[in-house]
Structure 1
């Protein structure tokens, strides 16, 4: 049996007769016996328990072997402490989902609300505080189906959308901010001004100005069906969305990108999508690898 094991059993008065005879052969047996006898009659003076503890520990440190049996327990305690810190850190951090070009992603939030994230978008929320604060941060575009419950906020760089339980779409790209309500009631806060949106109504801010819109008749945004649609939107915004859905770059030096566009393009066929934009605008184009050059006819 190891010496440390004999020492532990001796301290707990658990040695057999045979083990005690072996324990007596230790070089430090006399010191250990003397220390044990002294401890039996030891009584710490009032208000000096700290000094007594230090004295006892100094005696134990002087006993060889210096490696005490309780050191493995200290290692275990340290590992548990580190594990707790890692667990706490990872479970209280924000959860972030990002999409790439031509990618969409479905996200299930802690309250079973559902989010579909459009291409090149980012959604961030905190699982740890979700019960007390249903709040997400959005960069890009997403469609929300919010479970009924407490207030639900979608925060963007340009404005905040607040609901209790509904279906709506939020798009925030550079200086473009658009919110469309498909079910329930949506509250949009922009520059401290609050606007209520019933189903079918849209709120648009473009380059700092609010834009009037027609009533939306679709049940969901068309990009969920792999088609981007636009109503009187400058061509530059249409092209930017095109580049998010396809891995291409447009050269537009020879066209007026401020011209308004109404129409749509598919996400599933590059050639068809290009023609869907160029033909209504009376533009011609040339394509080289991943570059598309637009020209006036």
Structure 2
């Protein structure tokens, strides 16, 4: 049985066991399966295949009589191919989206061999089909980028856009928080229609709409890649928010100023040790109930 017959019978759920095994050996088997999955969610706007086919068949019947035993299968195959083509175009032009959950990190390889380390509770999206023309990614959360040299590479966030040509940098975009740190190369940060150039060790930080000056970064990579979150004169609320993301807990503050500055760090692999790291320096006590933690100053 040839390829077209196998595909036609597969679309009709009419394959026997032997034919199914033959179908699985097709080079584009995986692509066909993806298309089949997409059919479940696909709905062509204002187009009813059955109705249109019925109209075509009625038209054929009213024309001059001639052998038409091949017409129905041909039209059916044409309709199936049209749907498959539409689905293929639809699915291949969709963005690829990668998300991480609480206490989860992941490494993403982009089409040009650039790599992205995605921190906990973050989202990265990009389009493979347009990648050769536009190396654009959308970020919600925090990520460390190692960008392969080539055309312009843009990281688009709700707060601003980061543009580079080949470098290593970290972007963190959270609620009322936007930070870019350059570790290698040159980075351009567009914020409120103004661009700031960052060289290795330079940072750009916005908290609650206000630009904050930072000391020179002396690390070669962000600390979170080594399962540790470090802070230098950061508002305590940012420390708490990052703690919640890394340990999937809810933290309540009692009699604590969430805007007081904190300098220190906590590890991502031991909850109790991490809690002591963010409470002892501020003389704060804590209590735990399931996944809820209360920090309190007497």
- The TM tier, using the shorter chain, reads 0.7 to 0.9
2:67 is the alignment partner of 1:59? no
- What corresponds to 2:155 in structure 1? 154
- TM-fit CA distance, 1:57: 6.0
- What corresponds to 1:38 in structure 2? none
- What corresponds to 1:46 in structure 2? none
- TM-fit CA distance, 1:168: 0.2
Distance (whole Å) between structure 2 residues aligned to residue 247 and residue 193 of structure 1: 36
- What corresponds to 1:120 in structure 2? 121
Matched residue SS, 2:257: coil
1:37-116 to 2 correspondences below 5 Å: 58-60=63-65, 68-116=69-117
- What corresponds to 2:31 in structure 1? none
2:272 is the alignment partner of 1:285? no
- TM-fit CA distance, 1:106: 0.9
For normalisation by structure 1, the TM-score amounts to: 0.78
Aligned length: 240
Matched residue SS, 2:103: coil
1:130-169 to 2 correspondences below 5 Å: 130-169=131-170
Distance (whole Å) between structure 1 residues aligned to residue 270 and residue 181 of structure 2: 27
Matched residue SS, 1:78: helix
Matched residue SS, 1:279: helix
Distance (whole Å) between structure 1 residues aligned to residue 182 and residue 164 of structure 2: 10
Cα deviations by residue, 1:125-178 (Å, 9 ceiling, x for unpaired): 111111111111111000000000001110111111000000000000011100
Give yes or no for contact 2:185–2:200 (8 Å, CA) kept in 1. Answer: yes
Unmatched segments (≥5 aa) in structure 1: 1-53
Matched residue SS, 1:252: strand
- TM-fit CA distance, 1:254: 2.1
1:235-250 to 2 correspondences below 5 Å: 235-250=236-251
- TM-fit CA distance, 1:55: 9.8
Specify whether residues 213 and 56 from structure 1 end up closer, same or farther in structure 2 by C-alpha distance, changes over 3 A only. closer
Matched residue SS, 1:149: coil
Unmatched segments (≥5 aa) in structure 2: 1-58
Matched residue SS, 2:132: coil
For normalisation by structure 2, the TM-score amounts to: 0.78
Q: RMSD across aligned C-alpha pairs, in angstroms? A: 1.6
- What corresponds to 2:172 in structure 1? 171
Query: Which structure is larger by alpha-carbon Rg, 1 or 2?
Result: 1
- TM-fit CA distance, 1:190: 0.8
- TM-fit CA distance, 1:70: 2.7
Matched residue SS, 2:278: helix
Distance (whole Å) between structure 2 residues aligned to residue 97 and residue 141 of structure 1: 12
Give yes or no for contact 2:188–2:197 (8 Å, CA) kept in 1. Answer: yes
- What corresponds to 1:209 in structure 2? 210
Specify whether residues 56 and 236 from structure 1 end up closer, same or farther in structure 2 by C-alpha distance, changes over 3 A only. closer
- What corresponds to 2:18 in structure 1? none
Give yes or no for contact 2:114–2:145 (8 Å, CA) kept in 1. Answer: yes
